[in-house]
Amino acid sequence: MAIMSLVHLPVAALVIERKETEEQLRQSEDRFRTLYQRERGTVKVLQRSLLPTRLPDLPGLSIASRYIPAIPEPLGGDWFDVLPLPDGRISLVIGDVAGRGVEAAAVMGKLRNALRAYALEGHSPKVVMERLHSVMAPGELASVVLIALDPTTWRISYVNAGHVPPLVLNSGGTVQHLTSKGPPLGTPLQRSYEERTARLTPPCTLLLYTDGLIETRQEGILGRLRRLEEAVVSLPRDDLDSFLSRLIEEIFNGTSPIDDVALLAVGPAVLDPRRFRLELPAEPASLATLRGALRQWLPLTGASEDVASGIILAVGEAATNAIVHAYGPSHERFLVEATADQQGIHIAVRDRGRWRAPRGTSRGRGCEIMRALMDRVDITPGADGTTVTLYRSLQVETPSA
């Protein structure tokens, strides 16, 4: 029967069928467009919820970041992160997951959270990276740079898994690439990553970025890299936020990125010459960190080099006592607070331990040094800790007696 009707009504039937097909095509196209738009929306939402909404406010550091989605659609795998570590260092992260869309954004979310968890457990960048590698599913691939920065000494430890090397922009106008070998996360048979260390010299700026910044259809990647270097050297960096805005302007010159771009810039914060505050773990290694921070701050107060080195020594003695007398194996901290005006500098070093009776002569020598170098020294033992307050006049160069 069907054959019969086809034979009898061939033209009309064909027309109707074509119309149906066209209608179906239109519908499926609409459906596809809706789905596609929905996914695009999902990528955006995922990305927005996975990137830090606000970077942490960290003493001594100034931080700026940007995320620029590709045009016409975001790819979704780029991310950056900043998190304070238990040892006082700051973890700086930038990464790029291969692929696009919801899947890339989801892998990015997985990596970001796993990285945070491992880093907060106190693992070194190398260990964090190796564990991160083990959470990659087959077929997943991502490039990541992880830097642990000591904000007072500006010592860094870093690991690079196949990512574009971060840049260090030195105050003298030189650009240093933080190179380190390592394939992307998810590379089969990869087991270990190399951790490198470097000592940066503030005022410098660390710039972490994803390759979307140096990827164009028109220009080779090397040309772009050179353009990036030229741009970062020429731009003022006193305000990192406007530095990034101008850098993006300079690089893209009104055009749109063909890949997502994530940028993270970190530099030393402008210190307040009237105020200083630093809380450190009660362990010997903190002494060098404390000296580094005071060496940056004291010149701003108007203290001469002699006065500054005397204060650094006296505060060091007070801090040494705090460390020696800290109870418990770990997690004890001590706090150094200082205020300065034109008259002089007040410093308080507080710990939560109780000083034991002097043992040996070096403790007595420490107090002798403090009293000789400062105009006033008070040691106040309390129920919940000992406070040493030091005062050094800036008015006259009092001869130390």
Q: Contact positions toward other proteins, by CB under 8 A?
A: 155, 197, 199, 284-285, 287-288, 291, 306, 309, 312-313, 316-317, 320, 323-324, 360-363, 365-366, 368-369, 372-373, 400
Is the CB of 57 or the CB of 305 nearer to other proteins?
A: 305
Residue 390 CB burial class (10 angstroms; 0-12, 13-18, ≥19): buried
> CB-wise, 134 or 361, nearer to other proteins?
361
Cβ proximity to other proteins: between 209 and 297 the closer is 297
Residue 317 exposure: Cα atoms within 13 Å on the Cβ side = 23
Q: Which is nearer to other proteins, 90 or 232 (CB)?
A: 90
CA–CA gap between residue 198 and residue 178 (Å, rounded): 9
Q: Taking the CA atoms of the chain, what radius of gyration do you get in angstroms?
A: 29
Q: Which CB sits closer to other proteins, 78 or 150?
A: 150
Minimum CB distance to other proteins smaller for 205 or for 286? 286
| Closest separation in Å from C-beta 163 to other proteins | 25
Minimum distance from CB of 281 to other proteins (Å)?
12
Residue 338 backbone zone (phi > 0: left; psi -120 to 50: alpha; other: beta): beta
Three-state SS annotation for 46-105: HHHHHCCCCCCCCCCEEEEEEEECCCCCCCCCEEEEEEECCCCCEEEEEEEECCCHHHHH
Structural contact between residues 97 and 107, judged by C-beta atoms closer than 8 angstroms? yes
Smallest distance from other proteins to CB 116, Å:
26
Q: Which candidate, 230, 213, 214, 222, places its Cα nearest to that of 174?
A: 230
User: What dihedral do alpha carbons 149, 154, 157, 159 form, nearest 10°?
Assistant: 70
In this complex, which beta carbon is closest to other proteins, that of residue 278 or of residue 369? Answer: 369
Cβ-based nearer residue to other proteins, 274 or 365 = 365
* Token code pair at residue 210: 């994803």
Choose between 41 and 364: whose C-beta lies nearer to other proteins: 364
Residue pair 232/267 in contact (Cβ under 8 Å)? The answer is: no
- Residues 359-388, buried b or exposed e (16+ Cβ, 10 A)? eeeebeebbebbbebbeebeeeeeeebbbb
User: From the CB of 400, what's the least distance to other proteins, in Å?
Assistant: 7
Nearest distance in Å: CB 362, other proteins: 4
CB of 85 to other proteins, least distance (A): 17
What gap in Å lies between CA 81 and CA 318, rounded to an integer?
Answer: 36
Minimum CB distance to other proteins, residue 250 (Å): 36
Query: To the nearest whole angstrom, how small is the minimum distance from the Cβ of residue 340 to other proteins?
Result: 20
d(CA 346, CA 387): 13
Tell me how far, at minimum, the Cβ of 344 lies from other proteins, in Å.
Answer: 20
Least CB distance to other proteins at residue 240 (A): 27
- DSSP labels, 335-400: EEEEEE-SSEEEEEEE-SS-PPSP-TTHHHHHHHHHHHHSSEEEEEEETTEEEEEEEEESSS-PPP
- Residue with Cβ nearer other proteins (220 or 364): 364
